[in-house]
Amino acid sequence: MEAEQSQKIVNTGTTTVGLVCKDGLVLASDRRATMGYLIASKDIDKIYPLDTHIGMTIAGGVGDAQTLVRWMTAEMRLYRLKYDRRITVEAAATLLANILTQYKYYPFFVQLLIGGMDEDGRIRLYSVDMLGGVTEEKLTSTGSGSPIAYGVLEELYKEEGTMVENLKIAAKAVTAAMKRDAASGERVDLVVIDKQGFKRYDKNEIKGLIG
């Protein structure tokens, strides 16, 4: 019965990537959601804006992840209203970790990346696990396709590179994962966060970048 119920849960499966660049942050993902062996959706968002300067990628249970997106988005708005300034990326990651820690006995089945650019121009990226563990990263990947993505990232990522340079590397890492991981697929989604804020590339722009 447990196996039957687990197959009914929509899972992002997923490959997500986060890269810190000298001029901003790159986030990338695939677009497939699975339900057991069924492809439940071929066009699901896995990268969300929490504020104009912070984004989050999701991997794991779709319902759990989307609940956390709504929760965090509301918290970001409340922070702005209360303090008349935007929250730092580190504080947002700590808040997310605290939420997950509170529910560790009935956990959210998620693996998350949260990152962005602070008002002082500092670029931060954090990986947050389902029990609230947090690590700051320069490059990272989550989801079932992450071992494949890491092979590309470790070889090609440029820590002092620009977003334009690392966008292609992030796209290549996700594309490689989609070729080998059954739970990752459809197409690449790309987002950058810099001084201008959160920007998602459209399909045609991504095709141009991938070549």
- HSE-up (13 A, CA, CB side) for residue 143: 39
14: annotated active-site residue: yes
The residue annotated as part of the active site, out of 14, 15, 34, 57, is 14
Q: How many domains does the chain have?
A: 1
Q: Is residue 47 part of a domain?
A: yes
Residue 210 placed within a domain: no
pLDDT digits (tens, 9 = 90+) for 92-103: 999 999 999 999
Residue 100 lies in a domain: yes
Domain membership of residue 208 (yes or no) is: no
Contact 59, 142 (CB under 8 A): yes
Q: Comparing C-alpha atoms, which of 209, 176, 174, 181 is closest to residue 47?
A: 174
Give dist(CA 126, CA 116) in Å, integer. Answer: 9
In this predicted model, what pLDDT tens digit does every residue of 44-65 receive, in sequence order? 899 999 999 999 999 999 899 9
For residue 195, give every residue at least 6 positions away whose Cβ sits within 8 Å of its Cβ, in sequence order, or none.
24, 117, 121
pTM tops 0.95, yes or no: no
- Using one digit for the tens of pLDDT, what is the confidence trace for 104-138? 889 999 999 999 999 999 999 999 999 999 999 99
Residue ranges making up the domain that contains 9: 2-198
